Amino acid sequence: MTGGPTNLLDPHVGDVAAAERLGRRRSGEHGGEAGAKASFRWAAVRAGHLARPRVDTWPPGSRGDTWTFLIRLRPGRGRGGGSCPVNLKYEDDRPVDGKGIGRRVIDKLQQTYASELANKDFAYDGEKSLFTIGALPQVNNEFTVVLEDINTGKSAANGGSPGNDSPGNDRKRVRRPYQSKTFKVELCFAAKIPMSAIAQALRGQESENTQEAIRVIDIILRQHSAKQGCLLVRQSFFHNNPSNFVDLGGGVMGCRGFHSSFRATQSGLSLNIDVSTTMIVKPGPVIDFLLANQKVDHPNKIDWAKAKRALKNLRIKTSPANTEYKIVGLSERNCYEQLFTLKQRNGDNGDPEGVEVSVYDYFVKNRGIELRYSGDFPCINVGKPKRPTYFPIELCSLVPLQRYTKALSTLQRSSLVEKSRQKPEERMSVLSDVLKRSNYDSEPMLNSCGISIARSFTQVAGRVLQPPKLKAGNGEDLFARNGRWNFNNKRLIKASSIEKWAVVNFSARCNIWDLVRDIVKCGGMKGIKVEDPFDVIEEDPSMRRASAARRVDDMIDKMQKKLPGQPKFLLCVLAERKNSDIYGPWKRKCLAEFGIITQCVAPSRINDQYITNVLLKINAKLGGLNSLLQIETSPSLPLVSKVPTIILGMDVSHGSPGQSDIPSIAAVVSSREWPLVSKYRASVRSQSPKLEMIGGLFKPQGTQDDDGLIRELLVDFYTSTGKRKPDQVIIFRDGVSESQFTQVLNIELDQIIEACKFLDEKWSPKFTLIVAQKNHHTKFFVPGSPNNVPPGTVVDNTVCHPRNNDFYMCSHAGMIGTTRPTHYHILHDEIGFSPDDLQELVHSLSYVYQRSTTAISVVAPICYAHLAAAQVSQFIKFDEMSDASSSQGGHTSAGSAPVPELPRLHNRVRSSMFFC
């Protein structure tokens, strides 16, 4: 490919002329070496199914526009207040919180009042907005809708459940022949969205209404899936098909579904469709779920306090009536002993009188239902706090497609990753099949918008960047092939010394002295001088059952008694690999309190490759470098090597799903010792839960001091670079969506500029801000090949944004599954990179990750920021704060409690790559 607009091979791609008018940002910039680079064509899933309008039959006038209505759903008698959002209540003013009730009401509305609504089709978002193509007959509309056989719980007389003061004992409900509810539906005109914006998007042009118009057709896709009975999670949908379920253990299943959304791209409007996975509660008998969830083999071993938390808010179906309810809790007593008042008639004409009866006796004797094991266990309560309604546990089964939103265990996560992998060929086949089965062409709302969807993937042009040349010790070259290289018979370019060190062993079952011997031997081969350790300190067997904090304190005491002085380095051997309780307290003691570099290992099988990988981490932590880019040693990195340049990587990590009150951790790493771009340090702070914007970049303390994250990084660059301030600042930001780009510019970049001005009012560096996104659904495939795209693949046309400066890069080799490219967005560029130079810089920064001998999927500064946040967050155990989170997740208002501060790193390790 030598520049200019891309040849659009697929007949469904759209307006070629429009794509040419937009131009490829790389146009005219591929002279010389760039023009000689390999050219390929990739199939891009996101642009694979392009929506095109039937422009020649576009509906004239108002029929081409979408009208937005805000809806209010209220009980059947009387009008409510002036609230616009959906406000759905029963006649006794109890709020309806059942999922999907709004969709049922709107469906019934369409059936009942078709003629009054001019036979319009609706696009309803399930909450507060409803869209039609063209206007309804009236601006304000009001209707009464009756839903029959709604699952609200039936009375004992109608075959439902008993309970103390339960709904089943309400005489008015007993006399009611059908379970029906009445709602008042108000449709109020809100806005008019010109659907000509869709036509413009199809031609590769954006207008101010484009995003809102695309939202409408995205809602149409969601509604299409909802009508098929799918679970909807944002833009993804999941069918109740057991072939899509994978068991992750603990009563949790992975459910494979599909993501679908429309996007405006350079080639026009695109349908992005991809495989998606969510976690669901394992459907079936409640008792089976509890056994799996608590990993016990008999109901007698169930912890019912834990069971109550796990079951709260889950939905069940009861037998034999097959009625659906939501669990609110468990009975205080077991089924044999839990009593309620059963009202029975005394004689033919007598008044009802209450009789105390147990739940067990009622179901066995009054209902004739055999109960095999429920008697000894609590009942499921589906009633209200003051009007409980009980069912024996064996009559209750969890309904399918209920999301599980608590944190997964390490084993569950690894199982999910392993079972969700798909080779490129398999994924392409699955996506082609789901598009055919989705039958979007039958969707009347899409047809009304003049949209049809192609059945083939879009052809896009890509190129493969050559891997950067690397340097090892003694001036030797390292050659990367398929994104990988090795240090066989090579020395590290800057080897550190491991001196004044010791080994501590927390009850790991391995031969420690063999491990030490291998480290000394392998280190010598790589150029690292490894002295003999002071000692190997074994944990007392009596401490193995103590708390993690006590075990760490005891080990520190033993170490201080045995060693001649404070060590410079500690090798910590753990028994568990990934979920050791020791890790956090140990890291905190060493890094925050004593300022000792430490490396934790949990060797299961020791070989040369394992030892080499450990030594790469140790060398980087102790100030060494394993390899460098050749253009660093020259130095000849475009623009970056000419003037002092600092590279920042920024990330925020949040608590696991279901842990809504765990503080978020913000981390910023910065390059040091310019002109190097391979050496970094980190600063980490805690902030309010779920807050994505980093608020602590600039924190002035009076007129002289700044306690923000950025100041200490700028000062470190200045001192490590011969007292030179950076004239250029390149920022890589991870983890933000397109809707947050403006905040990144207006909040975070502004804070960084303020921090620079606070240091020196006359200092005005140039800034380039790049956002990296991994959490998207675009995939690239090589047509006719079972393999992933090669490392270094860049796509910057056709499927990129019609106006913004962005590109996709697959810098790493996808060894398993399907490669996911990183989507880079250049939000701000004062430095003035050409597209070639910026893509080469991003590609090169994927090769400077000191922990491994492979190119990584995103630039190293972002990976380091993620590692630093994850490691420092282990200093404080936040898990206990989230004990109240249920299986359905919880919510905490921001600022409701002070955020605990993380311990600051010791001065001796603050500038190190401790996170490696």
pLDDT in tens, 762-800: 999 999 999 999 989 999 999 888 899 999 999 999 899
Q: Please report the pLDDT score of residue 155 as a whole number.
A: 36
Q: Please tell me which residue, 656 or 519, carries the higher pLDDT value.
A: 519
**What radius of gyration, in Å, describes the C-alpha atoms of the chain?**
32
Low-confidence winner among 241-250, 435-444, 837-846 (lowest mean pLDDT): 435-444
Q: Read off the pLDDT of residues 488-528 as tens digits, 9 standing for 90 and up.
A: 889 999 999 999 999 999 988 889 999 999 999 999 999 99
Residue range(s) in the chain whose domain bears CATH number 3.40.50.2300: 495-624
What angle separates helix 512-526 from helix 608-621, to the nearest 10 degrees?
70
Dihedral sign for Cα atoms in the order 407, 821, 216, 442: negative
**Residue 83 · residue 95 · CB < 8 Å:** no
Show the tokens assigned to 842.
């991003």
469 falls in which pLDDT band (50, 70, 90)? very high
pLDDT at 843 over 90: yes
**pTM of the predicted protein model:** 0.83
* Rounded distance between C-alpha atoms, residue 329 and residue 403, angstroms: 18
CATH 2.170.260.10 matches 284-399: yes
For the chain, the average pLDDT equals: 81
Beta sheet of 477-478, edge-to-edge order: 477-478, 470-471, 628-629
Which structure tokens are listed for 873?
Answer: 């967050």
CATH architecture observed for domain 495-624: 3-Layer(aba) Sandwich (3.40)
pLDDT for residue 74: 47
Q: Rounded to whole angstroms, what are the CA distances from 611 to 488, 519, 603? A: 12, 6, 10
Average pLDDT (223-236) is 86
Half-sphere exposure of 871 (CA within 13 A, CB side): 25
Least Cα distance to 416 among 822, 828, 817 occurs for 817
User: How many CB atoms are located within 10 Å of the residue 195 CB?
Assistant: 25
Confidence of residue 165 (pLDDT cuts 50, 70, 90): very low
Locate the DSSP E strands across 436-516. 451-453, 458-464, 470-471, 477-478, 497-498, 501-506
Residues 861, 668 contacting (CB under 8 angstroms):
no
Pinpoint the alpha helices (H) of 622-726.
630-633, 709-720
pLDDT beyond 70 at 576? yes
270-327 pLDDT, tens per residue?
A: 889 899 999 999 999 999 999 999 999 898 899 999 999 999 889 999 988 888 899 9
> Which residue type occupies 171?
R
CA atoms within 13 A on the CB side of 203: 12
Question: Rounded to an integer, what is the distance from CA 552 to the centroid of its chain?
Answer: 33
Segment 240-265 shows an average pLDDT of 89
Q: For 2, phi and psi rounded to 5 degrees? A: -115, 25
**Straight-line distance from the first to the last Cα atom of the chain, in angstroms, rounded to the nearest whole number:** 38
> Could you tell me the CA-to-CA distances from 722 to 673, 725, 760 in Å, in that order?
8, 9, 17
CB 517, CB 536: distance < 8 Å: no
pLDDT, residue 703, reads 81
390-423 pLDDT, tens per residue?
A: 999 999 999 999 999 888 888 888 888 888 888 9
- What pLDDT is attached to residue 734? 94
- 101: confidence class by pLDDT, cuts 50, 70, 90: confident
The DSSP H or E segment spanning 334 is strand 329-334
**Alpha carbon distance 26, 839 (integer Å):** 11
The answer to whether the beta carbons of residues 265 and 12 sit under 8 Å apart is no
Cis peptide upstream of residue 320 (ω within 30 degrees of 0)? yes
CA pair distance 334, 547, nearest whole angstrom: 35
The pLDDT of residue 71: 56
- Which pLDDT band holds residue 356 (cuts at 50, 70, 90)? confident
pLDDT-derived band of residue 351, with 50, 70 and 90 as boundaries?
low
What is the rounded average pLDDT of the residues 443-448?
Answer: 83
Contact call for residues 397 and 317 (beta carbons, < 8 A): yes
The pLDDT-based confidence of 446 (bands split at 50, 70, 90) is: confident
Q: How far apart are CA 720 and CA 718, in angstroms?
A: 6
What contacts 352, CB < 8 A, 6 or more positions away?
343, 344, 345, 346
Query: What's residue 60's pLDDT?
Result: 31
What's the rounded Cα separation, in Å, for the pair 301 and 766?
64
- In this structure, of 11-15, 236-240, 641-645, the range with the lowest mean pLDDT score is 11-15
What's the pLDDT score for residue 67? 66
Does the pLDDT of residue 89 top 80, yes or no? no
Distance CA 811, CA 822 (A): 8
Q: CA-based angle 16:17:23, to the nearest 5? A: 95
How confident is the model over 593-605, as a mean pLDDT? Answer: 93
Cβ–Cβ < 8 Å for 105, 75: no
The mean-pLDDT minimum among 171-175, 214-218, 516-520 falls in 171-175
Identify which has the larger pLDDT, 3 or 387. 387
Query: What tokens were used for 260?
Result: 């679908």
Angle ∠(697,703,704) on CA atoms, nearest 5: 75
Output the six-digit token pair for 446.
């899409």
**Please, where are the H alpha helices in 324-460?**
359-361, 410-420, 424-438, 444-448
Encoded amino acid at 842, one letter: V
Q: CA-CA distance, 269 to 221, in Å (whole number)?
A: 15
CA angle 124, 125, 126 (to 5 degrees): 95
How large is the average pLDDT for residues 59-86? 42
Q: How confident is the model at residue 742 (pLDDT cuts 50, 70, 90)?
A: very high
- Are 909 and 596 a contacting pair, CB within 8 Å? yes
**Token pair for residue 847?**
């090769």
**What confidence tier does 370 reach under pLDDT thresholds 50, 70, 90?**
confident
Measured CA to CA, the distance from residue 359 to residue 413 in angstroms comes to: 40
Domain with CATH 2.170.260.10 in the chain: 284-399
Query: Most distant CA pair in the chain: distance in Å?
Result: 105
Task: Kindly state the percentage of the chain with pLDDT values over 70.
Answer: 82
- Position 832 pLDDT exceeds 50: yes
CA distances from 671 to 407, 437, 699, 866 (A): 33, 50, 21, 15
Reported as type and span, the H/E element at residue 781 is: strand 780-781
Q: Specify the pLDDT at position 168.
A: 35
Q: Which of 501, 561, 586 has the alpha carbon at shortest distance from 536?
A: 501
